[in-house]
């Protein structure tokens, strides 16, 4: 049990002193005018200090959250949550709190994390994604009655906010896809095989797979992975594991382009890796999809395919085509006679609003291609 004591000083008069959880000496001015009032204040502070010692700290929150909530989530999501947990700790430290307790978390503290991201001049979509993750952690803690109940601030949508809201990219034209593909051999290292990177690019373009999904795409069934079903029939589809972003296991039909490409590509892969799109480095097969993503991003940059421009503090920054823009291209190229629900099934979005807001766009290069009578990508 930690003790608090009253000390009379020449400069500040009566103060209450104690030691915090880290063993550091702390003090605050004692406001009581009489001995009885000062003793009452000292006792209340001592009770408060020891009560906090019995509360769940923010450090203790993490193993609880990880075991109860993250056990069935992806490794990337867990890593993102861990990062936001650390940034909350850092925000508390900036405010002078070295031992943050869950009961001390306030809306102001959470918003200070957002301010930190803003000062780092990060892209608005990156900030929004990080804060959405942090608010989900806070909501879980509130449901468990570990964190005080306060409401998440309403998102304002004035002219300035709408101007700052930006998509991560856009869909590509067929000519841009071909330029990006042609740049892959230049983006690869001398010991890497460009054909494998090109194949992954085409699979993403024809199926709408995300980077992590195409990396876990196998020819044969295996728990926790995605694989083609009835590829040699008219009922060809892909069985997606619950490791995909929406967390569901589902059978999704594929387009004719995807069927034809997978059938022809399979013939060239006889006896090779059981994975459809794994890439090879100097030491053998890459362990993660990171290298694949970097090569595709570098190819988009080499091909000078700008998918987004946005203002930073002193300059205009551009974003070049990357792996996820192939998914956007897939969504844009879906047949016009398909309903929104049917398109949602093919893109595997949990919410149709996401498809409409971020994928059903009409980017200028694609629109120009249509107006000129050529085939857009």
pLDDT tens readout for residues 245-277:
888 899 999 999 999 999 999 998 766 789 999
Give the per-residue pLDDT at 50: 73
Residue carrying structure tokens 């978390």: 105
Residue pair 141/150 in contact by the 8 Å Cβ criterion: no
CB contact set of 85 (below 8 Å; sequence gap of 6+): 58, 61, 62, 65, 137
- pLDDT averaged per 10 residues in sequence order, the chain, 377 residues: 88 88 79 93 86 77 91 85 96 92 93 93 84 95 90 71 60 94 96 95 96 95 95 94 89 94 89 88 92 97 91 79 94 84 88 70 57 55
The Cα–Cα gap between 192 and 224 comes to 27
Question: How far apart are the two ends of the chain, measured CA to CA in Å?
Answer: 69
pLDDT digits (tens, 9 = 90+) for 143-177: 988 898 998 988 766 655 555 554 568 899 999 99
Q: Per DSSP, what are the bridge partners of residue 307?
A: none
Select from 178, 346, 349, 139 the least CA-distant residue to 255: 346
**Domains plus CATH for the chain?**
5-54 (no CATH), 58-164 (1.10.150), 174-371 (1.10.443.10)
Could you give the 3-state DSSP secondary structure of residue 344?
A: helix
Residue pair 240/231 in contact by the 8 Å Cβ criterion: no
Tokens of 190: 């001398």
Give the per-residue pLDDT at 339: 86
Give the per-residue pLDDT at 365: 58
CB contact set of 179 (below 8 Å; sequence gap of 6+): 303, 304, 305
Give the per-residue pLDDT at 168: 67
């Amino acid at each position: 049990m930690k003790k608090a004591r009253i000390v009379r000083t020449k400069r500040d008069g009566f103060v209450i002193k104690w030691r915090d959880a880290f063993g550091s000496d702390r003090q605050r001015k004692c406001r009581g005018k009489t001995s009885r009032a000062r003793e009452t204040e000292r006792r209340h502070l001592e009770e408060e200090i020891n009560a906090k010692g019995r509360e769940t700290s923010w450090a203790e929150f993490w193993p609880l959250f990880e075991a109860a909530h993250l056990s069935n989530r992806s490794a990337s999501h867990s890593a993102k949550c861990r990062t936001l947990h650390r940034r909350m700790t850092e925000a508390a430290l900036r405010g002078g709190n070295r031992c943050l307790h869950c009961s001390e978390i306030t809306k102001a503290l959470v918003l200070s994390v957002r301010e930190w991201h803003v000062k780092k001049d990060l892209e608005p979509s990156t900030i929004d994604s990080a804060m959405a993750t942090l608010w989900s952690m806070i909501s879980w803690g509130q449901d468990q009655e570990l964190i005080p109940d306060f409401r998440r601030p309403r998102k304002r949508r004035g002219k300035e906010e709408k101007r700052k809201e930006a998509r991560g990219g856009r869909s590509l034209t067929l000519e841009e896809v071909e330029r990006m593909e042609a740049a892959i051999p230049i983006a690869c290292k001398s010991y890497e095989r460009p054909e494998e990177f090109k194949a992954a690019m085409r699979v993403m373009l024809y199926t709408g797979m995300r980077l992590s999904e195409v990396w876990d795409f196998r020819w044969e069934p295996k728990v926790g992975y995605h694989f083609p079903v009835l590829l040699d029939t008219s009922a060809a589809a892909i069985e997606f594991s619950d490791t995909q972003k929406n967390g569901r296991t589902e059978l999704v039909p594929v387009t004719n382009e995807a069927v034809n490409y997978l059938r022809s590509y399979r013939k060239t892969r006889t006896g090779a890796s059981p994975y459809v799109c794994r890439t090879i480095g100097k030491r053998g097969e890459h362990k993660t999809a990171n290298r694949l993503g970097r090569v595709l991003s570098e190819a988009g940059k080499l091909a000078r395919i700008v998918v987004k421009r946005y203002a930073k503090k002193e300059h205009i920054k551009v974003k070049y085509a990357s792996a996820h823009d192939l998914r956007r291209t897939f969504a844009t190229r879906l047949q016009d006679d398909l309903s929104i629900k049917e398109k949602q099934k093919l893109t595997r979005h949990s919410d149709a609003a996401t498809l409409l807001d971020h994928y059903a766009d009409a980017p200028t290069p694609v629109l120009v291609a249509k107006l000129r009578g050529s085939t857009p990508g």
